[in-house]
């Protein structure tokens, strides 16, 4: 297969990925819409019990919770501890309708197919150009969408985070559409500054970190949108937990990407730091996420305050990714933005 045919095939795979992500989003949204609403109680104040239990302590509650998980059709309640010390049962969710449950499984299947199409688009793009397939902004954004979906699906393998599916899928679909509409560049050779093995080191780390931070950003936005009481959106405690874990994984990767970028700059331009806009905003993003982690560890920040800090950091990340390349001229102007 010729280079031109591989490039065309890559473009078709991107279109297929967009469609599959959209279909997955619809299926995830169906599951979310027709599932049971969830309370927004703190985990520390809840003990899970089975239907009909008048009272329970923590040990009995956890045993009942394990039994309830084994019986998907059973109704699950949380025993809420009152001021008097007694526990009263509060319903959280009954067994989901078969239609909603099937929609969730279909959505996961579509998401995996979209992930495969996204991966195929990256691979065929690289083969067509005979280089690492992230030499311009179009390829970089396509790879970030793949990384974000990978972060979601990888998390889903260990924890049930299907409640994030619709929001991650729409983010990936919009990201790919934005890449095609704004950043699209025909496959071809890269500028000399990018013709280095450092692109496989520095840019790969940045892509992986950005994918994880996108998952955290989506969780943070939902946290602020989620009201008190019953809601079809996931509980704030679950959203904050997902965001924090994603950032903990992403921060070392982003740190490594910044350091690797400085080493690459020294080899390419003869200096480690030159106050280029991309360098400055990469460092600002690092400081913002470091502030989030520092506030949680030393000051004990949780909840809305910590979420606002991480969303400010996410805004810095997005501006570094899009704003710097679209609106600011610098040494990183090789993004080939039309």
Contacts of 298 (CB under 8 A, 6+ apart): none
Dist. CA 54–CA 88, nearest whole Å: 7
Asked if residues 48 and 77 have their Cβ atoms less than 8 Å apart, the reply is yes
How do the pLDDT tens digits run along the chain, 338 residues long? Answer: 788 889 999 999 999 999 999 999 999 999 888 866 666 655 434 444 444 444 455 455 455 444 444 433 333 344 444 444 444 444 444 444 677 778 889 999 999 999 999 999 999 999 998 888 888 889 999 999 999 999 999 999 988 888 899 999 999 999 999 999 988 988 888 777 777 888 889 999 999 999 999 999 999 999 988 877 667 788 888 899 999 999 999 999 999 999 998 898 888 778 888 888 888 999 999 999 999 999 988 877 888 889 999 999 999 999 988 888 787 766 565 555 54
Strand partners, 87: 81
| Residue tagged 């400085």 (tokens) | 262
- In order of 50, 86, 95, 325, the CA distances from 55 in angstroms are 10, 7, 22, 59
Contacts 24+ apart (CB under 8 A), 314-319: 314/213, 314/214, 314/216, 314/217, 314/220, 316/281, 316/284, 316/285, 316/288, 317/210, 317/213, 317/217, 317/285, 319/281
Dist. CA 317–CA 220, nearest whole Å: 14
As given in the structure block, the two tokens for residue 92 are: 């959280």
Closest CA to 164 of 118, 214, 114: 214
């Amino acid at each position: 297969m010729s280079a031109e045919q591989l490039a065309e095939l890559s473009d078709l795979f991107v279109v297929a990925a967009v469609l599959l992500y959209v279909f997955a989003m619809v299926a995830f949204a169906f599951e979310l819409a027709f599932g049971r609403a969830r309370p927004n109680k703190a985990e520390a104040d809840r003990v899970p019990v089975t239907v009909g239990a008048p009272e329970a302590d923590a040990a009995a509650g956890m045993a009942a919770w394990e039994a309830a998980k084994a019986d998907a059709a059973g109704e699950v309640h949380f025993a809420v501890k009152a001021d008097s010390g007694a526990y009263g049962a509060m319903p959280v969710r009954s067994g989901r309708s078969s239609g909603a449950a099937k929609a969730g499984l279909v959505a996961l299947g579509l998401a995996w197919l979209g992930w495969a199409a996204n991966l195929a688009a990256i691979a065929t793009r690289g083969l067509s150009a005979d280089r690492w397939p992230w030499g311009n902004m179009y390829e970089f954004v396509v790879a970030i969408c793949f990384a974000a979906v990978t972060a979601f699906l990888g998390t889903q393998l260990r924890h049930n985070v299907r409640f994030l599916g619709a929001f991650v899928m729409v983010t990936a679909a919009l990201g790919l559409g934005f890449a095609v509409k704004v950043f699209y560049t025909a496959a071809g050779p890269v500028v000399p500054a990018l013709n280095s093995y450092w692109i496989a080191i520095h840019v790969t780390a940045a892509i992986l970190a950005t994918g994880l931070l996108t998952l955290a950003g989506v969780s943070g936005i939902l946290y602020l949108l989620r009201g008190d009481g019953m809601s079809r959106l996931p509980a704030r405690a679950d959203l904050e937990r997902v965001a924090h874990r994603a950032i903990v994984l992403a921060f070392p990767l982003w740190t490594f990407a910044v350091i690797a970028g400085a080493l690459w700059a020294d080899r390419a331009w003869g200096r480690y730091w030159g106050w280029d806009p991309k360098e400055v905003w990469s460092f600002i993003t690092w400081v913002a996420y470091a502030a989030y982690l520092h506030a949680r560890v030393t000051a004990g920040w949780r909840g809305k305050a910590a979420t606002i800090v991480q969303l400010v950091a996410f805004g810095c990340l997005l501006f570094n990714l899009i704003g710097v390349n679209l609106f600011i001229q610098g040494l990183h102007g090789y993004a080939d933005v039309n």
